[in-house]
């Protein structure tokens, strides 16, 4: 099938590459010339395991192309995926300017039937806005061409995006019950047929329910995390181990094991903004989603838990103290620094007077870019950050090590070397990578999250 992807970011590039891999003829559009140049020169603009190989293979086979040519992109695809960003507006609602701009471009150049797919995470009712924007452009050109807007939210996780896309646990598609909607439904069915071979994974529903499902999923996952973080903080006080509790409750199939890991807060481009956007949608209808307000507040506090523990141990004034930090990205296997907990920790430590040496396996360059923006008004704090060459280099002369991201590379370090390099053998573990008893046996003072047994 002929597919256009509008917006070649995390979701757009993964969607385009995976659909090309299944034999479709894919046109990826972006307004960012730099991204398109990187892709046309054989590179990829993001770190995502397995993606580079798929892109290279399908480029060589002529099944995927990258361009900034809007008119050509609209002409190309019978199915037009909108996969542009929906960042938070100042009031927390989803900023739909990129989605609407993409819709207008479709209306500006389309001449025949198009299935327009909202792949971006968009509030309930956005499909109507997309339809209106396309219709307005068609009207301005006095062109009659049919189309149908479908909601097909994406559930992939960064760092496992290709795997998640290729082996989805569900595909949610919302279509209209109009003749155009039926036509769109049959094209979507054909496009996703390869994913449904062994068993049906598609949940067909109305458009608004599909839009809502995406926010419900992310809000539920964020709620689980904040719930466990709040219990972990209590566990620290009562002398229980949150990891034992996690196993104890996760074994109940009604609860399940996933997304119950306590830590130093959730970050990334999605949970924080989607929880906020859902709250905003509710407020538009005069409702307050009390649970989600608490989820957000708990997460904001949780991002400070590591810094607070370090100040409890070393004093509020950290002048003259030096710390090592392992992990900067918001989660492993990505270089994404959006809403990363490391940024909050760095702010706390540096503002209290400490110096730091940081290391991340892939996000060092992205971290430098982002931290320069975070501390643009405080160059003296920026100068207190040393970018280490490797994990062990970061430890030299540090008063303690703080772990923020659970990269595999941090899971089994040579603890003798860790102890030898640190000024004092103190570890603050924001992702509960290690067993407290083992650390004590190794002579390391260990501070986990909710593990003060």
| Residues carrying an active site annotation | 270
Strand partners for 174: 151, 205
Give the other-Cβ count within 10 Å of 141's Cβ. Answer: 13
- For residue 294, state whether it binds ligand NAD (rule: CB under 6 A): no
Sole binder of ligand NAD in the list 121, 151, 213, 229 (CB under 6 A)? 121
Phi/psi of residue 404, each to 5°? -110, -30
Sole binder of ligand UGA in the list 66, 98, 165, 271 (CB under 6 A)? 271
- For residue 113, state whether it binds ligand UGA (rule: CB under 6 A): no
Judged by CB under 6 A, the stretch of 4-12, 295-303, 356-364, 431-439 that binds ligand NAD is: 4-12
Give the other-Cβ count within 10 Å of 276's Cβ. Answer: 19
Residue entry with tokens 């509008």: 6
Per partner kind, with CB cut-offs from 5 to 8 A, the member of ligand NAD, ligand UGA, none near residue 29 is: ligand NAD
| Residue whose CB is less far from ligand UGA, 156 or 381 | 156
- For residue 165, state whether it binds ligand UGA (rule: CB under 6 A): no
Strand ranges in 59-192 using DSSP code E only, listed in sequence order:
64-67, 79-82, 114-118, 147-151, 171-174
Sole binder of ligand NAD in the list 22, 56, 72, 101 (CB under 6 A)? 101
Give the span between the Cα atoms of 129 and 127, in whole angstroms: 5
Give the span between the Cα atoms of 340 and 225, in whole angstroms: 15
Answer for the pair 26, 19: CB distance below 8 angstroms, yes or no: yes
Pairing of strands 322-326, 400-403: parallel
- For residue 331, state whether it binds ligand UGA (rule: CB under 6 A): yes
Pairing of strands 400-403, 171-174: unpaired
- For residue 330, state whether it binds ligand UGA (rule: CB under 6 A): yes
- For residue 98, state whether it binds ligand NAD (rule: CB under 6 A): yes
Residue 181, CA distances (Å) to 5, 208, 210 in order: 20, 14, 14
Residue entry with tokens 């395991």: 49
Residue 441, CA distances (Å) to 270, 394, 438 in order: 39, 24, 5
- For residue 30, state whether it binds ligand NAD (rule: CB under 6 A): yes
User: To the nearest 10°, the Cα dihedral for 288, 293, 295, 297?
Assistant: -170
Judged by CB under 6 A, the stretch of 264-272, 276-284, 352-360, 379-387 that binds ligand UGA is: 264-272
Per partner kind, with CB cut-offs from 5 to 8 A, the member of ligand NAD, ligand UGA, none near residue 271 is: ligand UGA
Nearest to 429 by CA among 417, 441, 407: 407
Sole binder of ligand UGA in the list 150, 260, 394, 401 (CB under 6 A)? 260
| Residue whose CB is less far from ligand UGA, 78 or 164 | 164
Answer for the pair 66, 39: CB distance below 8 angstroms, yes or no: yes
- For residue 268, state whether it binds ligand UGA (rule: CB under 6 A): yes
Sole binder of ligand UGA in the list 96, 138, 156, 358 (CB under 6 A)? 156
| Residue whose CB is less far from ligand NAD, 8 or 58 | 8
| Residue whose CB is less far from ligand UGA, 268 or 413 | 268
- For residue 270, state whether it binds ligand NAD (rule: CB under 6 A): yes
Give the other-Cβ count within 10 Å of 351's Cβ. Answer: 13
The residue at minimum Cβ distance from ligand NAD is 9
- Here the tokens at position 323 are 């710390």
| Residue whose CB is less far from ligand NAD, 160 or 245 | 160
| Interface contacts to ligand UGA, rule CB under 6 A | 121, 154-158, 218, 221, 225, 259-261, 263, 266-268, 270-271, 330-331
| Interface contacts to ligand NAD, rule CB under 6 A | 6-12, 29-32, 35, 83-86, 98, 101-102, 120-121, 154, 156, 158, 269-270
């Amino acid at each position: 099938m002929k597919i256009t992807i509008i917006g070649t970011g995390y979701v757009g590039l993964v969607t385009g590459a995976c659909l090309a891999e299944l034999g479709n003829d894919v046109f990826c559009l972006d307004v960012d010339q730099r991204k398109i140049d990187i892709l046309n020169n054989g590179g990829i603009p993001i770190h995502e395991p397995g993606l580079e190989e798929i892109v290279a293979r399908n480029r060589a086979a002529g099944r995927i192309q990258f361009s900034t040519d809007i008119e050509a992109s609209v002409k190309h695809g019978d199915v037009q995926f909108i996969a542009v960003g929906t960042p938070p507006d100042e009031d927390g609602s989803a900023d739909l300017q990129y989605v609407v701009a993409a819709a207008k471009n479709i209306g500006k150049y389309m001449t025949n039937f198009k299935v327009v797919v909202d792949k971006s995470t968009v509030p309930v009712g956005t499909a109507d806005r997309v339809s209106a924007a396309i219709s307005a452009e068609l009207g301005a050109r006095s062109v009659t061409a049919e189309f149908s807007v479908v909601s097909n939210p994406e559930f992939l996780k960064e760092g496992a995006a290709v795997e998640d896309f290729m082996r989805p646990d569900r595909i949610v598609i919302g279509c209209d019950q109009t003749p155009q909607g039926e036509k769109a439904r049959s094209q979507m069915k054909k496009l996703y047929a390869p994913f449904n071979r062994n068993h049906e994974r598609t949940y067909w529903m109305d458009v608004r329910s599909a839009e809502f499902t995406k926010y419900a999923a992310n809000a539920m996952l964020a709620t689980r995390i904040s719930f466990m973080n709040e219990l972990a903080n209590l566990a620290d006080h009562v002398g229980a181990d949150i990891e034992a509790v996690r196993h104890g409750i996760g074994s109940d199939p009604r609860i399940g094991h996933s997304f119950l890991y306590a830590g130093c807060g959730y970050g990334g481009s999605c949970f924080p903004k989607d929880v906020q956007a859902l709250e905003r949608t509710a407020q538009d209808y005069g409702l307050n989603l009390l649970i989600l307000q608490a989820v957000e507040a708990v997460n904001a506090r949780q991002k400070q838990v590591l810094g607070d523990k370090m100040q409890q141990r070393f004093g509020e004034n950290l002048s003259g103290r030096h710390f090592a930090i392992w992990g900067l990205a918001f989660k492993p296997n990505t270089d994404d620094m959006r809403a990363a907990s490391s940024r909050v920790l760095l702010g706390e430590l540096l503002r209290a007077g400490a110096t730091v040496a940081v290391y991340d396996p892939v996000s060092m360059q992205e971290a430098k870019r982002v931290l320069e923006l975070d501390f643009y008004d405080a160059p003296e704090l920026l100068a207190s950050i040393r970018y280490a060459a490797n994990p062990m280099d970061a430890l030299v002369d540090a008063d303690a090590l703080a772990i923020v991201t659970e990269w595999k590379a941090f899971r089994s370090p040579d603890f003798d070397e860790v102890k030898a390099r640190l000024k004092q053998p103190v570890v603050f573990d924001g992702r509960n990578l290690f067993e407290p008893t083992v650390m004590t046996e190794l002579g390391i003072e260990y501070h986990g999250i909710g593990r003060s047994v």
